[in-house]
Amino acid sequence: MESLRIYNTLARDKQTFAPLVPGVVRMYVCGMTVYDYCHVGHARVMVVFDIVQRWLRTLGYDVTYVRNITDIDDKIIRRAVENGETIRALTDRFIAALHEDADALGVQRPDHEPRATQYIPQMLDMIGKLEQNGYAYQGKDGDVNYAVRKFAHYGALSGKSLEDLRAGERVATNDAKQDPLDFVLWKQAKPEEPADTSWDSKYGRGRPGWHIECSAMGCTLLGDHFDIHGGGQDLQFPHHENEIAQSEGATGKTFVNTWMHNGFVNIDNEKMSKSLGNFFTIREVLAKYDAEVVRFFMARAHYRSPLNYSDVHLDDAKNALTRLYTALKDAAPDANPLDWNEAYAQRFQAAMNDDFNTPVAIAVLFELATEVNRTGEPALARQLQQLARVIGVLVREPRAFLQQAAGAQEAGALDVAAIEAQIAARTAAKQAKQYAEADRIRAELLDAGVALEDKPGGLTEWRRV
């Protein structure tokens, strides 16, 4: 079996993965800024790296997975002031909402979920080291900035040269900076801001810049040099570029070996984001679609590819997942463990080892489902179920999925008692040879989104469509 290969953004190529410590993987993923409900773009980050960490563990690695929470920044402050509440009250509320959404999507909790506000001393310590090493300076306005031009490798991750950045005027002019490209490490507190938004430091009372937060949390929890750093494609520049500059400037060591970035979620070929106003929150989507369907929709696309969001694509994902569950409905999996030497499992493993190629892995599941439908073989049913569970799908009893109303609770959906009453009435009509009435009830249920399947022995099963 081939070794795991991962596309490394820094190398711009797939590379054979070799952790720094054999058998051990340390991975950091940039998490959410908690001032509002998470949207579908955030869901993709959570699902993508949940699948990554699941596969690493499946391969036998001892994984330490860190996904941070940004709980202090300008947007958070602005929202808390607008709401008339403390920063902590606001962020606690949306962290709880984040957990509810992630749990619904089957996203396992990371091993560590540090909040930025818990690591202020470590951030200040790193800023102090950058100052000692000649990479940081305090401007006339009191802010501490990073001197970008002093870091020789700046732009290596994003492929952007300093000249390109300067010519493109990507950074607003600030007279307090030595160079417009320099970015802030420590922001001076403003008189009008609430007291709970700043901390004392030798640079004056203030708060950290966004980039230094992840550098400090990553290095504190995983060491100065670790295996994998991930996040959305939009973080490649400037956030991850700045993390490298800060971390390597402070420690003198390589920061991260493998950089992973997932593609955008698009609506009408435009990135979904709060700033563009074209986003759907996870909860809005889960009110309409089953959470496992949403997870499956995301897993069907390769993590580095754009993901085009639409009801049509989610409906297609629902129908596809229904086909997999239907294959398991009448072929009970046996109780044996997953057999990785079996042919389908070997192909599934090869796909996942090829840069977490979930579309190919899922194609293997559908081939396996076809064989299960043909043979009813319990061993194949077990392989289908257990392979799917590696990526967090087919986790329920098949009838529980097939009979569940779409979304959290679809408005107007017939409840189970009403459906079973209709089925009983249809059975009675058939027994009385009132076939027209039986057909009417079947058609009425289908119009209400319930399909019937007559089984041998007079049993009728149903599922939602």
**221/64 Cα distance (integer angstroms):** 9
Alpha-helix residue ranges (DSSP H) falling in 33-139: 40-58, 74-83, 87-104, 120-132
Output the six-digit token pair for 76: 């958070």
Is 143 within 8 Å of 184 (Cβ atoms)?
Answer: yes
For residue 415, the SS3 value is coil
CA distance to 105, 127, 170, 424, per residue, from 213 (Å): 27, 11, 22, 61
Instruction: Check whether 214 is labelled as a binding-site residue.
Output: yes
Q: Tell me the HSE value of 66 on the side-chain side, using a 13 A CA sphere.
A: 23
Query: Which neighbouring-strand residues pair with 228?
Result: 27, 258
3-state secondary structure 225-279: CEEEEEEEHHHHHHHHHHHHHHHHHHHCCCCEEEEEEECCEEECCEECCCCCCCC
CA-based angle 396:331:391, to the nearest 5?
40
- Backbone angles phi and psi of 94, in degrees to 5: -80, -20
**331/375 Cα distance (integer angstroms):** 9
Is 203 within 8 Å of 144 (Cβ atoms)?
Answer: yes
| Terminal CA-CA length for the chain | 40
3-state secondary structure 125-188: HHHHHHHHCCCEEECCCCCEEECHHHCCCCCCCCCCCHHHHHHCCCCCCCCCCCCCCCEEEEEE
Instruction: Check whether 274 is labelled as a binding-site residue.
Output: yes
Instruction: Check whether 420 is labelled as a binding-site residue.
Output: no
Name the burial class of residue 36, with classes exposed (0-12), middle (13-18) and buried (19+) by CB atoms within 10 angstroms of its CB. Answer: middle
Residues annotated within a binding site for ATP:
274
Residues annotated within a binding site for Zn(2+):
30, 214, 239, 243
